[in-house]
Amino acid sequence: MGAVLDAQGVVGATISRLGAEFQELNFRLTGMTGGDPNQVIADINTDVAELKRLCESG
């Protein structure tokens, strides 16, 4: 989570959201919560693409 502390604005928010999504994916894969893990994977892929775009443009 150190990356979030150093990142600002939209980049920091995207990194934070990715962290939460990976945590949710872990919960789903280990059976702690119900739901389709593919839904979370789709969100992760979207946010990774957004982070890549933000980093390339900055």
Residue 11 banded pLDDT, cuts 50, 70, 90 = confident
pLDDT at residue 12, as a whole number: 87
For residue range 21-58, list pLDDT tens digits in order.
999 999 999 999 999 999 999 999 999 999 999 888 76
Q: How far is CA 49 from CA 4, 29, 30, 39, 55, in A?
A: 17, 23, 26, 16, 10
pLDDT greater than 70 at residue 3: no
3-class SS string, 6-47: HCCHHHHHHHHHHHHHHHHHHHHHCCCCCCCHHHHHHHHHHH
pLDDT at residue 57, as a whole number: 79
